Homo-oligomer: A and B are copies of this chain.
């Protein structure tokens, strides 16, 4: 196993009505003038925003608001947020929403706390030396951004989607009320469950260092998400199932499931980032659409873990050769995707990609990786193109 760092300072307040604690939490972390950053109008229509601003008003906390964070959040809005924060003297950002609003808020925070162009961080040209403190009221379980060090931003010019990770960006607090996720469309709920599982699997399918305890935690997390994702297909208002998925989403990406391994594979994510950059598809659905093709391309190079995954997570029979068991595990996960109405290829995702587009995405992906990436099997541009082709359906 490898040595590791583990740092998850985010204070989590989990349960019904927890959004009422927002003013106390903002004060605890020294916020006096907020930027409230959010996505579309759903948080307004649901009445959540009114409850939040009422609480802040009663506590005498000032704020300005900026909506419009979209899935695959755009750099343009980040720039707008940075200017707004500077102009208004904002000292704390409150993200209300899911990963889009939180990721966008982190980017704004980096922009305010560091000089120069914030895109430099995403473009690997500089490292941030700070971030405006931020808190979260989570309304969508998916990206784990509420406890993670990561954010992903899309530059409109060239549709380039890039992630940046820094401990400075970890939220100071995260308010998690599972009830706030109940109004989500079923498709988004399923996308979220797929993303949560993928964060765990990216770390699980690695070539080395996996600790027994980390594996046990990851496997338990994956089984929990599958059980509860299936419950939510039939019973979307099930509080307990919402809560299981919500907490799993945070634990899947706060670092816990990566302790002791080599950093993980992350190629399903990298491949999907190109899809998301070019087609603006839902991230979770994009992941489901490419995962099977990735898995079948790499499993022979990472056979012990694919076998273990098949038995311990997917619960398939351990009879037969390792390869047979591994393939049964991949099929079982695709069956799960179908159960929750997720795509298992680009066609089902609704993407009819030309040869040129596939080649462009493979090229951009390889460039973004600096030539190659992956742990289960190291992939180059030609490999990535093969996976894209196989994922057409």
Chain A residues packing against B (C-beta within 8 Å)? 1-9, 11-16, 18, 211-213, 216-217, 219-221, 223-224, 227-228, 240, 243-244, 247-248, 251, 256, 259-260
Collect the chain B residues with CB atoms within 8 Å of residue A243's CB: 1, 211, 260
- Copy number in the complex reads 2
Q: Which residue of B lies closest to A246 (CB)?
A: B213
Collect the chain B residues with CB atoms within 8 Å of residue A9's CB: 8-9, 11
* Contacting pair A4 B14 (CB below 8 A): yes
* Contacting pair A216 B212 (CB below 8 A): no
- Write the nearest CB–CB distance from A132 to chain B, whole angstroms: 19
Q: A4-B14, A213-B251 are in contact. List 15 more A-B contacts (CB 8 A).
A: A4-B12, A7-B12, A9-B9, A14-B259, A211-B247, A212-B228, A213-B247, A216-B217, A216-B221, A217-B220, A217-B221, A243-B260, A247-B259, A247-B260, A256-B256
Q: Which residue of B lies closest to A3 (CB)?
A: B15
Collect the chain B residues with CB atoms within 8 Å of residue A219's CB: 216, 220
Collect the chain B residues with CB atoms within 8 Å of residue A220's CB: 213, 216-217, 219-220
Q: Which residue of B lies closest to A259 (CB)?
A: B247
* A244 in complex: contacting residue of B11, B213, B221, B256, CB < 8 Å: B213
Collect the chain B residues with CB atoms within 8 Å of residue A1's CB: 240, 243
Collect the chain B residues with CB atoms within 8 Å of residue A15's CB: 2-4
- Write the nearest CB–CB distance from A392 to chain B, whole angstroms: 35
Q: A211-B244, A244-B211, A259-B247 are in contact. Are A13 and B5 (CB under 8 A)?
A: yes
